[in-house]
Amino acid sequence: MTRAIGIDLSKWDVSFDPAKATMPIDFAIQRASYAKIRDQAFDKIYEGVAKVGITGSYHYLSTGISWQEQADFFLEIVEGRGFGFYVCDFEGAYNAMSIKFAMEANQWMDYVARATGKPVLLYTNPNLYDLYAWHYCAGWPLWIAQYWLFPSPNKNPGMPKRRKDWNIWQFSADRNRKSAAYGCGARSVDINVYNGTVDNMKSWLGVDQTIHPIRERQCPYPICAVDNK
């Protein structure tokens, strides 16, 4: 099985032009907002994201601000953009982590799912999932961030103790220095894989099967398929 491969983007990536990419991009996930602040490069980066066949958008959830106000703010930004799925980014930086915050993440996801009718995922890492998220967020599809010393899309993530399944895995972050090959303007870019093929991902999202990802590039990895042995 050859997994779908994609990148996630925010203002830190400076710019994104998939036409300049030399590596395959099957999907792109773009940050729309954090707290009640619009990502400063949203419109600029969206021009490139809109050219990718499969797209999603995420919001960095913040403590100390109403989850519903954050959800409404996010929905205003992504309305009419054609994203196939949405994500609640549940992280510790600048946040007061607690089980209550996990409950708010669950409320945010439920609200966005009801408002859009689209799949909604939880983004977090194994430690935060086991400490907080599992209490209220166990029922949501998971985008897990976990990095091996030698990153590869052909491996599998180290999972939380309380969770076995995952949909998207962010397998490489700051260590990557090939962002220009993904059409990005910064020195690094986050790289992800979907737990299935491109067609599997399209089927999951209900994406038009005639929409093709940017797959004519050469995969940079020795084996661009999962080795389950």
Does 183 reside within a domain? yes
pLDDT of residue 12: 95
pLDDT at 229 over 50: no
The secondary structure of residue 108, as a DSSP letter, is H
Q: Would residue 229 count as lying in a domain? A: no
Let me know if residue 221 belongs to a domain. no
- Amino acid code (one letter) for 67: W
Of the candidate ranges 185-189, 200-204, 212-216, 222-226, the one whose mean pLDDT is the lowest: 222-226
Specify the pTM.
0.92
Is residue 14, in this structure, part of any structural domain at all?
yes
Instruction: Name the residue range of residue 91's domain.
Output: 5-205
What is the reported pLDDT for 207?
A: 82
Q: Is residue 21 part of a domain?
A: yes
Q: CATH number of the domain that 131 lies in?
A: 3.20.20.80
Tell me how far apart the terminal alpha carbons of the chain are, to the nearest angstrom: 12
Half-sphere exposure of 58 (CA within 13 A, CB side): 24
User: What percentage of residues in the chain have a pLDDT greater than 90?
Assistant: 84
Examine residue 53 and state whether it is found in any structural domain, yes or no. yes
Amino acid identity for residue 11 in this structure: K
Residue 162, C-beta contacts closer than 8 angstroms, at least 6 positions apart: 129, 130, 134, 138
- Would the pLDDT of 225 be above 70? no
| pLDDT tens track for 15-25 | 999 999 999 99
In the chain, the number of structural domains is 1
Query: Closest Cα partner for 202 from 138, 144, 119, 143?
Result: 119
- Does some domain include residue 219? no
Residue 211 lies in a domain: no
Helices (H), 15-145: 42-49, 67-78, 99-116, 126-128, 134-137
Judged by average pLDDT, the poorest of 90-94, 117-121, 176-180 is: 176-180
